[in-house]
Chains A and B, each alone.
Chain A
């Protein structure tokens, strides 16, 4: 289905939900204020639903707002977002009956940072970006250039296993098969795995020395739903609220362990990082570890217990003395 067609159906669905009082809020995407951006639209107003959009730039994982809005919400969700929603249901943060999921089968989203790197131009210097299947056409200075889609999709999209929402009330379009490149998706992780332990630690040390502790990675993450994060605890003071690499690194390690089994590899933490820290090299690794060790994939079954509240009598014994 074309984006345009999907949008029209979305407008209709969203409007109906509000009109019939099935939901109090609609959470979706509208066109952003800058080129090639979208921005979350959280509204009670039926007339606003005409502003909803679906395009290759709907990056935000909107489920982060579900724990915040009061009342029932109709939410637009891509594959990964729907799994975050399921994960929140598993954790009893939200109730399934309070959410109407308008699922978007997602063919992958375009990573503007990659586009910028490919063309050596900033996003606002580009004229147009369109996508047709496995080809992305980018117009710059009036000239159109083609690129294979795999070159400009987000790394996490390249590794996406479930582009179609796992849980939905309405599905806008046919289940999609995203164009993936599993090797490219985890290339940076592989690079890290190949080097020595000391080098890995030094790598992260370097990366986290740039962190300014804006907490965008945490606040944008639907799995980070704690009312009060351990970094804000003062008794005991687990780590200093001062951006030094030691504290930054510790924060990120603990955050990753805390969201193990909740992270759906939506890639938001890495996308929002203003310092370009490759956070997905941590989250994705955790995602894989959880899968390898416990055959658990986050947000696949709303009736399953969350990873860290469950156990098998015999599992992961090898390291126990």
Chain B
């Protein structure tokens, strides 16, 4: 017998290895609960994230993408997160104009000590994605 299962959004997270990934790790170690909707790709720096990755993730059917890095001024490579911010700002606005729901593209600063913030970000983003609904952008003809 099949049961109605509530739809859960799939979120792809690009986490910088120095801050946000460590933050996510900390959340896990301190047994903080956060939605299991996020799949994580560890990147050396948020500046590594080409907008191409974000669009590819949407193309593959992820409902949302989260890019997370160190706070301004804290980048292990000095400026990587500043570059990421500029690129993300452009990507987000541009995709919005194309017709992508803005909630699908998310970004955050999470430091290595902020396990709590990481849980909060993932929960909030998941909640927003639930409201937006499933990613139908590239559906059909596959």
**B-side interface residues, number (CB < 8 Å):** 38
Residue of B nearest to A260 (CB): B90
The answer to whether B73 touches A313, judged by C-beta atoms less than 8 angstroms apart, is yes
Residue of B nearest to A285 (CB): B97
A40 to chain B, nearest CB (A): 31
Q: Convert A291-302 into 0s and 1s, putting 1 for each residue whose CB lies closer than 8 angstroms to a CB of B.
A: 001100000000
B108 to chain A, nearest CB (A): 4
Prevailing SS type, chain A contact patch: helix
Which chain B residues (47-83) contact chain A, with CB distance < 8 Å?
51-52, 55-56, 59, 72-73, 79, 82-83
Chain-B contact segment, one of A54-62, A134-142, A248-256: A248-256
Chain B residues contacting A258 (CB-CB under 8 Å) are 51
Chain-B contact segment, one of A10-18, A64-72, A215-223, A304-312: A304-312
Which of B93, B99, B125 counts the most A-chain CB atoms under 10 A from its CB? B99
A319–B91 alpha-carbon span in the complex (Å): 12
A294–B124 alpha-carbon span in the complex (Å): 28
The answer to whether A313 touches B98, judged by C-beta atoms less than 8 angstroms apart, is no
The answer to whether A289 touches B79, judged by C-beta atoms less than 8 angstroms apart, is no
Chain-A contact segment, one of B7-15, B24-32, B35-43, B134-142: B134-142
Q: What interface size band does chain A fall in?
A: 35 or more
The answer to whether B56 touches A238, judged by C-beta atoms less than 8 angstroms apart, is yes
Which chain A residues (127-186) contact chain B, with CB distance < 8 Å?
none
A315 to chain B, nearest CB (A): 7
The answer to whether B73 touches A320, judged by C-beta atoms less than 8 angstroms apart, is no
The answer to whether A254 touches B55, judged by C-beta atoms less than 8 angstroms apart, is yes
B97 to chain A, nearest CB (A): 5
A311–B85 alpha-carbon span in the complex (Å): 9
Residue of A nearest to B92 (CB): A319
Which 10 A-B pairs have CB atoms at the shortest separation, nearest pair first?
A201-B99, A200-B99, A311-B82, A321-B108, A316-B89, A257-B51, A246-B138, A197-B99, A254-B52, A289-B93
Q: Which B residues lie at the A interface, using CB under 8 A?
A: 51-52, 55-56, 59, 72-73, 79, 82-83, 85-101, 106-109, 121, 124-125, 137-138, 141-142
14 A-B residue pairs with CB within 8 Å: A201-B98, A203-B99, A246-B141, A249-B98, A253-B98, A257-B87, A257-B91, A257-B94, A294-B86, A311-B85, A319-B88, A320-B109, A321-B107, A321-B124
Q: Which A residues lie at the B interface, using CB under 8 A?
A: 192-193, 197-204, 230, 238-239, 244-246, 249-250, 253-254, 256-258, 260, 282, 285-286, 289-290, 293-294, 307-311, 313-317, 319-321
